[in-house]
Amino acid sequence: MKTLWHNAVFYTLQREGQTVDALITENGKITASGSYEQLKGQATQDINLQGAFVYPGFIDNHMHIIGQGEKLLRLDLSRATSSADMMDQLMHAYKDLPEDEWFIGEGWDENNFSDKKIFNRYELDTITKSPMLLKRTCWHAALVNSKALELAGITKATPDPDDGVIERDEHGEPTGLLKEGAMHRILQLLPEPTEGYITKALETSVDHLLSVGLTGVVTDDLGYYGNYQTPLQALNNVLGGKRKFRTHLLRHFSVFQQLIKEHASYNEPWVEPGEMKFFIDGAFGGSTALLSQPYSDDARNVGTAVLTDKELENYVELARCYEEAVAIHVIGDLATEKALDVIEKHPVPEGKKDRFIHVILLREDLVERMEKLPIVLDIQPAFVSSDFPWVQERLGNDRLEWAYAWKRLLDKGFICGGGSDAPIEDPNPLLGIHAAITRRSPMEQHEGYLPEEKLNRYEAVQLFTSGAAATIGKEHVRGCLEVGFDADFTILAEDIFSVAVDHIPEITVEKTVVAGEVMYEVPA
């Protein structure tokens, strides 16, 4: 069916400021664009957008789509503004939880608390007799109670794993704070999720993502939920039916080879296989991002390498055996250096690009090496407003020249896509766009953190449209409103390019359109 969309301002994103008055779509594609007078009468269906503003469908360039659904279904601690607030939420959650079931919470962040308090196991023991797992906002650390430590066999005598840290008190007793590989000892104890549970989390997530204007995501979900077939089957079943939504699926290193050998099937174009994903380091929040020089607030710590150099090379070699690119989590400068060392030694196959995820702390010499390679960058603008000002104490001012350097990376010509890393950050792309423009939260009133790295509004919108599409090799079919492109639109009540900048996150999403079909419409 041919559909005429009109009475709106359509930003094409082909070049800054370019707009058209109307579009025609058919079979999921844009088939004509121009003025309403030119196009009227050429379609069988007419949709009057009542003066709205239309953008290419927003894409989140890095998230965990099932994990975001879990966050929405579980106890969400991300909005706790004090340690007392967090304790109050914990005390009132899961009142009737059986002792053999896990008490799980998501998203706490001590940097939001004036006292910076991190609860210990004994304080958590007063809340429940069930084993407790509270994931920190970064997902690279967690708090657990004594019951969980007991189930994991973690005692005073347990050594730190090579890829993690068991925090201890002055007597050597575990405090309940576990980082990286130590946390994974707890995660392995959780019951294997059922397809029904994952399906519910996925449906919850997609419905929410559509409501904030997202039409697709790059997502990392395989390898976290038992057998890869469980989350993959849920993705294949949920996406493309009544929920049209696009996913570029990073393939976790732990299941990558199995996916290929077993000829895993993907419900394309809604579920498309992507690069092999793995981590080199952790995050700044838990001081586990890998640095070439010690943390400014902890001279004994340079972070945590979650892979040995040999494991890192083995993973890249494995991907290259199957003619595939890699997607590498790198936050600290030493992590990026290690990634460059190995991909320079084992180049990406012709026609493909490796993906660096986060690239928060760089150095001039690293950027020069990156410029010579076919790579794309996943950046998370909201990390600036979340991490500052505390990250300045952790890194020191002398390292900030190439920290969170989105403007400089774009000016160097890197292909950059914007994402949220949800459930780490809120997946609302308007929050990411605002953060890229202002480099602060909407509530703050200052010039922004490292203000020389601010993007203009067009550059910020590009991160979540044409830039994100380019990172997945879809720059010729997504990210612009152009004839022949996918009919994916984000339709807003107000104009990103003209409203007061702090109002951007408050703009109402009127409709989200995927493949020419309205997948979300604001309730009347």
Q: Which residues pair with 354 in a beta bridge?
A: 375
pLDDT at residue 140, as a whole number = 85
Residue 33 has pLDDT above 90, yes or no: yes
Per-residue pLDDT, 95: 85
Is residue 256 over pLDDT 90? yes
Q: What is the pLDDT of residue 310?
A: 97
What pLDDT score does 162 carry? 86
Q: Which two tokens stand for residue 321?
A: 């055996």
- Beta strand extents in 126-168 (DSSP E only): 132-136, 141-144, 164-168
* Cα–Cα–Cα angle for 325, 327, 331, rounded to 5 degrees: 145
Contact 131/102 with Cβ under 8 angstroms? yes
Mean local confidence (pLDDT), 230-235: 96
Alpha carbons within 13 angstroms on the beta-carbon side of residue 57 total 36
Numbers of helices and strands, H then E, in the chain = 18, 22
First to last CA, the chain: 26
Separation of alpha carbons 464 and 306, rounded Å: 30
Give percent above pLDDT 70 in the chain.
Answer: 100
Q: Could you give the CA distance from residue 220 to residue 320 in angstroms, rounded to a whole number? A: 20
* Mean pLDDT, residues 314-320 taken together: 98
How does pLDDT run across 2-30, given as a tens digit for each residue? 999 999 999 999 999 999 999 999 999 99
Pair 429, 463: CB distance under 8 Å:
no
Return the pLDDT at 138: 83
Q: Would the pLDDT of 404 be above 90?
A: yes
- Angstrom distance (rounded) from CA 333 to CA 289: 8
Residues 6+ away with beta carbon under 8 Å from 299 = none
Question: For 83-102, what is the mean pLDDT?
Answer: 92
Q: What is the pLDDT of residues 325-341, one digit of tens each?
A: 999 999 999 999 999 99
Q: Enter the pTM of the model.
A: 0.89
Q: Sort strands 141-144 and 132-136 into parallel, antiparallel or unpaired.
A: antiparallel
8 Å CB contact between 275 and 327 = yes
pLDDT at 169 over 90: yes
DSSP state of 505: G
Q: Cα separation of 154 and 188, whole Å?
A: 13
Kindly state the tokens that stand for 187: 């995660």
What does the mean pLDDT of the chain come to? Answer: 96
Region 59-73 average pLDDT: 95
pLDDT tens string 371-398: 999 999 999 999 999 999 999 999 999 9
Instruction: Please state which of the ranges 42-51, 156-165, 451-460 shows the lowest mean pLDDT.
Output: 156-165
- State the pLDDT confidence band at 137, using cuts at 50, 70 and 90: confident
Answer whether 417's CB lies under 8 Å from 461's CB: no
Range name among 76-80, 118-122, 251-255 with the lowest pLDDT average: 76-80
Written as six digits, the tokens of 152 are 């994991």
Provide the pLDDT for residue 192: 85
The three-class DSSP label of residue 317 is helix
pLDDT at 112 over 90: no
Q: 292 pLDDT band (50/70/90 cuts)? A: very high
* In the predicted structure, residue 226 carries a pLDDT above the cut 90: no
Candidates 92, 109, 179; CA nearest to 144 is 179
Confidence band (pLDDT; 50, 70, 90) for 524?
confident
pLDDT at residue 258, rounded to an integer: 97
Predicted pLDDT at 139: 80
In tens, the pLDDT along 478-523 reads: 999 999 999 999 999 999 999 999 999 999 999 999 999 999 999 9
